[in-house]
Chains A and B, each alone.
Chain A
Amino acid sequence: MTAATNPATSGVKSVPGAPLLELEDVKMHFRTKGDGLLARGTKWVQAVDGVSLTVQPGETVGLVGESGCGKSTTARLITRLLEPTAGKIKYQGVDIAHMSERQLRPYRREIQLIFQDPYSSLNPRHTVGTIVGTALRTHGMVAKGGELKRVQELLEVVGLNPEHYNRYPHEFSGGQRQRIGIARALAARPKIIVADEPVSALDVSIQAQVMNLLENLRKELGIAFVFIAHDLGVVRHFCDRVAVMYLGRMVEEGPRNDLYEQPQHPYTQALLSAVPDIAVVRGVPPKTRIRLVGDVPSPVDPPSGCRFRTRCWKAQDICATQDPALEVKPTGTTTVACHFAEPPVESIVAEVV
C-alpha cells in the first residue's frame, strides 16, 4: 500500500497529547414499550451503562463478555451510528458524542467498522469494485480516473485477486467476503477500525488467515483496533489490552497478559475458567472450572449495586448497596470494578509445562 497521505484530514480537530479514542462513562439507554396490557409506560434497556475506555494510536483493545452485554452497542457508539444518552466519546480529545451528521463527516472516514457477517454487510447487487469504489468516493479518497487502480491495490492488500474486481459477493467464500469488508474499511485510510466479531463466522483455518491479515495491517499501517470477539483465544492472540463487559458495564480492563493470568474480577475469573483449553491433551492439567449459576439478569431491570452480584460467590451486603468503581487496586495491575477484587487463589489459567 502506498504511503498514507490523507487528502481529507481537514475537519478533524485534535487536542495535543490526547489519546486517539477515549470513552468516558458512556451510556446508551434504549427506550422500549412496556409489554402487554399491563404496560406501565416506557421502559429503558440499559444496553450500555457506563463504559470507559482508552485507545492509543496503533493499539488493539479487545472487548469481551457474554451475549447481550453491550459489545455491539459500544461498537455502534464509537462509530457514532448511535448517539449516546450520556457520557463522552472523545476522538483525539474532541467530544464527538453529540456532533451533527455534517460535523461528523470527516470523523466517519477515520473511524471504520467491520461487521461479523460478511454475507449481509455487502450489497449482493454490487460488484466488489463498486463496493470498494463507493467507499473511496464517499470519503473523497481518490482522484477521478484513479479509482480502479486504487480498488485493485486494496484488493491486493487484503489478499484477493485484483482481477476479480468485477465479481459479485456471492462468487466469493465467507473468508473472501470478510476480506472485501476489510478492503472497504481500508479504502478510507482509517486511524481506527472497530471490528465487531470479524472472524466469528469463519472456519478455523479461514479465521487464522483473516487474523493474520488484520495483524499485518496493524503492523504495516499502524491502524488501531477495537476488537470484539467472544472467542477468548482469538482476543488474547490479537489484542494488547482487553476489557471485560458484563450487563452494560465494564468490569475489568488491563494489559492482555495481566488480565489473562491475574484476573481480579470474579466474572473475569469465571469467564476464563470456562474456556475449553486444547492444551489439556498435551499434559497441561485441566483448570478448575468455576460454574456460574443462573442467567444474566435483564438489562431493563439490572440488579442494584454491583450488577454481577446475583451470580457472584463473593457477594456481600455492600455489593447490593454500593456500586463498585472501576479503579486500580493495590491487589493487582488491572483496573477492576469489585469491592473484593483479588487475583485468583489458584492459577485459573493453567501454565504450559
Chain B
Amino acid sequence: MSTDPNIPQGGNMTDQTVRSPQTVARTPRTRAEGEEAYLEVTDLHVQFPTADGKVNAVQGLSYALPLRRTLAIVGESGSGKSVSSMAILGLHDRKSTWISGSIKVGGKEVVGMSEKDLMDYRGADAAMIFQDPQSSLHPFFTIGDQIMESYRAHHNVSKRVAKARAIDMLGRVGIPNPARRVDQYPHEFSGGMRQRAMIAMALVNDPKLLIADEPTTALDVTVQAQILDLIADLQRDFGSAVVFITHDLGVVAEIADDILVMYGGNAVEHGPVDKILGTPLMPYTWGLLESIPAVSGTPGPLHPIPGSPPSLLAMPSGCAFHPRCEFKDRVAGDLCRTLKPELIPRTADQGRSSRCHLKEPDRVFETEVLPRLP
C-alpha cells in the first residue's frame, strides 16, 4: 500500500526540516447529561435450550442510553455481552432462543418484532460492527457493491447515486483513494481497512444506534488508535448512541462516557466511566482493575481474581460472584451465598448503581483495594 499518495515517501523528500508527528490531543468528551434514552433495555432475559439444559446467557439486564453517548460493556468472555447486544438487533434465531423483557430503540419495541419489520429496522435505526470484518464482508463482492447494497436496501436510489454514497462513506472512514478502493475486494484491504469498510457499511444509512462488538480486539494498537478516533469522530458527526463492547479497560477509559460491567449474564456495576473506574464499588470490578498491568507508573504485583467464571447452566446461589469473592465473609450472615443482591442506584452518587451486599464499599476500596492496584 506504499503507493498511496497520502503516505509520506521518505525517499522523495526534499525539505530537510524535521517535521513533527501528526498528533491528536485527546480532548475531554462533552457529556450530554440527562437526555432522553434512545436505547432502553428492561429486564432482558436470553436463554438457549441445549441438550445439557438451559443456558441462561442474559438474566434480567436493564440499562438505558441517550443519543450522543458511548456506553462500554465490559466483562469476561461468556458474561453475555454479545448475546445481549445481538438481541438489540434481533439477530438471534427465533426457534432456538428464548427472549423476554423489553428492548426499545427510538421508541420501537424490538423484542417480538416481525422479521419484516426487523429488516427495515436493521441498518436504518441500529447497526452492528463485529470483531471480525470477515463475518460481515462477503469475499466475492467488491467493497463498493456491499456498501451500495446496504444503502439501496433502505433508499430507493439508482446505482450511480448509491456508488457516490459508498465512495463518500469510504472517504469518511479514512480510506485513502476511495474512488479506486470502492471497486476492490475485501482481500485487497488490510485488516484495519476492512474494519473501516465495515464501519462505513454499518453507518451508510445513518443509524442512530451503533453497536460495536470488540471492533478493535484483533487489531494492532496503532490501528486500534485510528479506529477509536474514527468511531469518536463519527459519533460526533452523526450524533448517534454507541454501545462499545470490549474487555480492554484502557480502551474504555479513553472512549466511553458510561460503563456497564457484566458478570454471569447480568450487570453488576453501571455508571459514568470516571466514577466506576475511579472508585468502583463492588469486588468483581476491583478484581478486574487489580488484574491489569499498567502502561505507566511503577509496575506493581497483580492480584488476579481466583477461580474462573460461573457455568451458565448451574449458576451459584446468592451472588453469582461469591465463589470467587474475597469479601463475602465481611457480609453479615450468609447473605452472599443465599440472597442475590439487586442492582441498586447509589443515592449519594448520581447516575451509578452496583450489585453487592457489602457495606461501605467506598471505604473498603479506598483503604484496602486502592493501595494494592498494580
- A82: chain B residues at CB < 8 Å are none
Given contacts A230-B220, A276-B254, A278-B277, whether A291 and B225 have CB atoms under 8 Å apart is yes
Complex CA gap A207/B303 in Å reads 11
Scan residues 293-350 of chain B and give those whose CB is less than 8 A from a CB of chain A. Answer: 293-299, 301-306, 308-309
**Which stretch of B6-14, B49-57, B161-169 is in the interface?**
B6-14
- Residues of B near any A CB (own CB < 8 A): 1-2, 4, 6-11, 13-14, 16, 18-26, 76-77, 176, 190-193, 220-226, 228-229, 247-255, 273-274, 277-278, 287-299, 301-306, 308-309, 374
Question: Which of A173, A204, A289 is within 8 Å of B288, CB to CB?
Answer: A204
Question: Which of A66, A276, A277, A288 is within 8 Å of B25, CB to CB?
Answer: A288
Given contacts A212-B302, A291-B226, A294-B2, whether A233 and B18 have CB atoms under 8 Å apart is no
**Which stretch of A51-59, A220-228, A313-321 is in the interface?**
A313-321
Scan residues 187-209 of chain A and give those whose CB is less than 8 A from a CB of chain B. Answer: 203-209
Given contacts A67-B220, A230-B220, A289-B24, whether A295 and B193 have CB atoms under 8 Å apart is yes
- Asked if A94 is an interface residue, CB under 8 A from chain B, the answer is no
- A66: chain B residues at CB < 8 Å are 220-223
By the criterion CB–CB under 8 Å, are A320 and B10 in contact? yes
- B24: chain A residues at CB < 8 Å are 288-289, 291
19 new A-B pairs (CB below 8 Å) besides A66-B223, A320-B11?
A203-B247, A205-B287, A206-B76, A206-B308, A208-B292, A212-B302, A233-B292, A236-B293, A260-B295, A276-B254, A279-B253, A279-B296, A284-B296, A294-B2, A295-B190, A313-B21, A317-B14, A317-B16, A351-B297
A sample of 5 inter-chain contacts (CB < 8 A) reads: A276-B248, A276-B253, A291-B23, A291-B24, A310-B8
By the criterion CB–CB under 8 Å, are B294 and A204 in contact? no
- Asked if A234 is an interface residue, CB under 8 A from chain B, the answer is yes
Given contacts A205-B304, A236-B295, whether A313 and B8 have CB atoms under 8 Å apart is yes
By the criterion CB–CB under 8 Å, are A237 and B23 in contact? no
Contact string against B for A residues 308-336, beta-carbon threshold 8 Å, 1 for contact and 0 otherwise: 01111111110111000000000000000
- B4: chain A residues at CB < 8 Å are 294
By the criterion CB–CB under 8 Å, are A204 and B247 in contact? yes
- A205: chain B residues at CB < 8 Å are 76, 287-288, 291, 304-305
By the criterion CB–CB under 8 Å, are A297 and B10 in contact? no
Complex CA gap A230/B191 in Å reads 16
Distance in angstroms from B281 CB to nearest chain A CB is 14
Scan residues 338-353 of chain A and give those whose CB is less than 8 A from a CB of chain B. Answer: 340, 349-352
- B2: chain A residues at CB < 8 Å are 294, 297, 303, 310
- Asked if A133 is an interface residue, CB under 8 A from chain B, the answer is no
Question: Which of B9, B192, B274, B299 is within 8 Å of A237, CB to CB?
Answer: B299
Given contacts A204-B76, A205-B288, whether A274 and B224 have CB atoms under 8 Å apart is yes
By the criterion CB–CB under 8 Å, are A233 and B19 in contact? no
Complex CA gap A309/B7 in Å reads 10
- Asked if A18 is an interface residue, CB under 8 A from chain B, the answer is no
- B7: chain A residues at CB < 8 Å are 293-294, 310-311
- A319: chain B residues at CB < 8 Å are 10-11
Closest to A289 in B: B24
Distance in angstroms from A281 CB to nearest chain B CB is 4
- B289: chain A residues at CB < 8 Å are 278
Given contacts A212-B302, A310-B7, whether A291 and B191 have CB atoms under 8 Å apart is no
Closest to B9 in A: A310
Complex CA gap A207/B290 in Å reads 11
- Asked if A123 is an interface residue, CB under 8 A from chain B, the answer is no
Distance in angstroms from A277 CB to nearest chain B CB is 5
By the criterion CB–CB under 8 Å, are A233 and B249 in contact? no
- A96: chain B residues at CB < 8 Å are none
Complex CA gap A207/B288 in Å reads 11
Q: Give 4 nearest A-B pairs by CB, closest first.
A: A320-B11, A309-B10, A315-B10, A237-B293
Residue of A260, A277, A284, A289 with most chain B CB atoms under a 10 A cut-off: A289
By the criterion CB–CB under 8 Å, are A203 and B277 in contact? no
Complex CA gap A337/B63 in Å reads 51
- A217: chain B residues at CB < 8 Å are none
Interface of B: prevailing SS: loop
Complex CA gap A245/B191 in Å reads 19
- Asked if A161 is an interface residue, CB under 8 A from chain B, the answer is no
By the criterion CB–CB under 8 Å, are B226 and A279 in contact? no
Complex CA gap A326/B284 in Å reads 45
- B221: chain A residues at CB < 8 Å are 66, 230, 232, 271, 274-275
- A207: chain B residues at CB < 8 Å are 291, 304
- Asked if A70 is an interface residue, CB under 8 A from chain B, the answer is no
Complex CA gap A312/B21 in Å reads 8
Complex CA gap A123/B229 in Å reads 42
By the criterion CB–CB under 8 Å, are B20 and A313 in contact? yes
Question: Which of B193, B228, B306 is within 8 Å of A276, CB to CB?
Answer: B228
Complex CA gap A286/B11 in Å reads 34
- A310: chain B residues at CB < 8 Å are 2, 7-10
By the criterion CB–CB under 8 Å, are A277 and B250 in contact? yes
Scan residues 144-184 of chain A and give those whose CB is less than 8 A from a CB of chain B. Answer: 173, 175-176
By the criterion CB–CB under 8 Å, are B1 and A295 in contact? yes
- B277: chain A residues at CB < 8 Å are 278, 281-282
By the criterion CB–CB under 8 Å, are B249 and A278 in contact? yes
- Asked if A32 is an interface residue, CB under 8 A from chain B, the answer is no
- B305: chain A residues at CB < 8 Å are 205, 208
Distance in angstroms from B278 CB to nearest chain A CB is 5
Question: Which of A236, A269, A275 is within 8 Å of B299, CB to CB?
Answer: A236
Distance in angstroms from B190 CB to nearest chain A CB is 5
- Asked if A290 is an interface residue, CB under 8 A from chain B, the answer is yes
Complex CA gap A266/B305 in Å reads 37
Distance in angstroms from B274 CB to nearest chain A CB is 5
By the criterion CB–CB under 8 Å, are B251 and A276 in contact? yes
Distance in angstroms from B257 CB to nearest chain A CB is 12
- B255: chain A residues at CB < 8 Å are 276
- B18: chain A residues at CB < 8 Å are 314, 316, 340
By the criterion CB–CB under 8 Å, are B297 and A278 in contact? no
Complex CA gap A238/B306 in Å reads 20
Distance in angstroms from B312 CB to nearest chain A CB is 14
Complex CA gap A105/B287 in Å reads 44
By the criterion CB–CB under 8 Å, are A212 and B299 in contact? no
- Asked if A28 is an interface residue, CB under 8 A from chain B, the answer is no
By the criterion CB–CB under 8 Å, are A289 and B26 in contact? yes
By the criterion CB–CB under 8 Å, are A315 and B13 in contact? yes
- B192: chain A residues at CB < 8 Å are 295
